[in-house]
Amino acid sequence: MNAAKRHAIFARLQQQNPHPTTELEYTTPFELLIAVLLSAQATDVSVNKATRLLYPVANKPETIHALGVDGLIPYIQTIGLFRTKAKNVIETCRILMTEHGSEVPRQREALEALPGVGRKTANVVMNTAFGEPTIAVDTHIFRVSNRTGIAPGKNVDIVEEKLMKFVPPEFRQDAHHWLILHGRYTCIARKPKCWNCMIADLCEFKQKTPLPETV
């Protein structure tokens, strides 16, 4: 795909949704961090249902840490891998309290040092909470990038590297959200809604070989 096509794709996505954001519900960087930690292999809908119950009771490192693993589990037990996530959340709260003054760090290295926080989660927090032009490649972005030809790659690292190279700078801040929403609601996994796609004429899906394994 050439640069002109990529620019046209993101210009249309911007026109359709000028101010995209995450569908996770949060009011502070800490609430976002915990929500993203809980969202691994889970839907935003299920996470929002849990945090709507949790955050009115505990929404700071001190208050969540005070719950302990056993106290946190009842709030998140409807989410997949809830036992492991509960342990990671409690330990993350401890580290934030003891090493970061109960504040969410802005640096990638510090974020990725938190339990359960990988590159994708760090990218989400850096982008959504702190306005950094990072792109977190989840299953939706991986699929859309490969299927459309925007940034094809065999794994998430390659796709992220290509997106950071190929997405025009003026669109990079919001590209993460546009691609996720496009993959979630239009360019869906099994039967993409090409008939209702605003970038269908720019997409290279029909010319592409089968997708690599999804992540």
- Selection from 193, 177, 195 nearest residue 185 by Cα: 193
Spatial distance between the Cα atoms of 176 and 140, rounded to a whole number of angstroms:
10
Q: Which of 128, 152, 180 is the last residue of a domain?
A: 128
- Judgement on whether residues 72 and 119 belong to the same structural domain of the protein: yes
Q: What is the mean pLDDT of residues 62-73?
A: 98
- Judgement on whether residues 116 and 163 belong to the same structural domain of the protein: no
Res 209 pLDDT > 80: no
Is residue 215, in this structure, part of any structural domain at all? Answer: no
Spatial distance between the Cα atoms of 178 and 198, rounded to a whole number of angstroms:
12
Q: What is the mean pLDDT of residues 168-184?
A: 95
The mean pLDDT value of the chain amounts to: 94
Q: What is the mean pLDDT of residues 5-24?
A: 95
Spatial distance between the Cα atoms of 200 and 197, rounded to a whole number of angstroms:
5
Per-residue pLDDT at 124: 95
* Catalytic residue from among 5, 60, 138, 157: 138
- Contacts of residues 47-51 at CB distance under 8 Å and 24 or more positions apart, as own/partner, are 47/79, 48/23, 48/24, 49/78, 50/75, 50/76, 50/78, 50/79, 51/24, 51/25, 51/26
Q: Which of 128, 154, 184 is the last residue of a domain?
A: 128
In the residue annotation, 85 being an active-site residue is answered as no
Spatial distance between the Cα atoms of 78 and 178, rounded to a whole number of angstroms:
28
> Which range marks the domain in which residue 103 is found?
29-128
Per-residue pLDDT at 212: 52
- Judgement on whether residues 116 and 35 belong to the same structural domain of the protein: yes
- Judgement on whether residues 90 and 151 belong to the same structural domain of the protein: no
pTM of the entire predicted model: 0.88
Per-residue confidence band for 69, with pLDDT thresholds at 50, 70 and 90: very high
CATH value at residue 13: 1.10.1670.10
Per-residue pLDDT at 215: 44
- Judgement on whether residues 124 and 140 belong to the same structural domain of the protein: no
CATH value at residue 96: 1.10.340.30
Q: What is the mean pLDDT of residues 94-104?
A: 98
- Judgement on whether residues 159 and 195 belong to the same structural domain of the protein: yes
- Selection from 132, 121, 129, 134 nearest residue 103 by Cα: 129
Of 206 and 47, more confident: 47
In the residue annotation, 138 being an active-site residue is answered as yes
Spatial distance between the Cα atoms of 88 and 45, rounded to a whole number of angstroms:
21
Question: Percentage of the chain with pLDDT > 70?
Answer: 95
* Catalytic residue from among 120, 154, 174, 191: 120
Total domains in the chain come to: 2
Contact (CB, 8 A) for 136 and 108: no
Is residue 174, in this structure, part of any structural domain at all? Answer: yes
Res 10 pLDDT > 90: yes
- Judgement on whether residues 119 and 93 belong to the same structural domain of the protein: yes
74, two tokens: 């009842």
